């Protein structure tokens, strides 16, 4: 079985993962996930997945990202591909995740330093 040579193949280059504390609605279509910068003409997009990553004993984690059905079809037909950087992907906590950690830490400290009064 040979591979088709597509002239204008869509290359989706993953750059990073941001871990959010809140849930998002996954993109329904590729066009819904990708936006074009009007000044540069470059395209950028975001795909969201809900659920917790599965952490392996090695410290690596796996996460399932449901791709839009039209993108899956393009990949299947050889019209698109997902490209990973050689050095791997950066993983960042999103601002909402940082805020949630701060709130949790504050609650824990408040509980630990609670003053009990005699009645």
pLDDT digits (tens, 9 = 90+) for 52-72: 778 889 988 788 777 888 888
29 touches 8 (CB < 8 A): no
Can you give the pTM of this predicted structure?
A: 0.57
Task: State the pLDDT at residue 77.
Answer: 93
If pLDDT is split at 50, 70 and 90, which confidence band does 28 have?
low
Top mean pLDDT of 24-28, 48-52, 83-87, 110-114 is at 83-87
Answer whether residue 76 shows pLDDT above 90. yes
Cα–Cα dist 14/116, whole Å:
52
Cα–Cα dist 46/14, whole Å:
10
Give the closest residue to 88 by CA, choosing from 10, 16, 12.
16
Top mean pLDDT of 38-47, 72-81, 110-119 is at 72-81
């Amino acid at each position: 079985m040979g591979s088709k040579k597509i002239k204008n193949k869509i290359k989706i280059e993953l750059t990073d993962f941001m871990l959010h504390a809140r849930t998002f609605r996954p993109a329904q279509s590729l066009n819904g996930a990708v936006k074009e910068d009007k000044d540069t003409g470059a395209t950028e997009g975001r795909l969201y997945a809900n659920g917790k990553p599965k952490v392996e004993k090695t410290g690596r984690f796996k996460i399932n990202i449901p791709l839009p059905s039209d993108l899956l079809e393009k990949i299947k037909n050889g019209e698109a591909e997902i490209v990973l950087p050689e050095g791997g992907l950066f993983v960042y906590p999103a601002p909402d995740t940082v805020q949630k950690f701060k709130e949790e830490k504050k609650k824990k400290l408040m509980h630990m330093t609670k003053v009990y009064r005699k009645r």
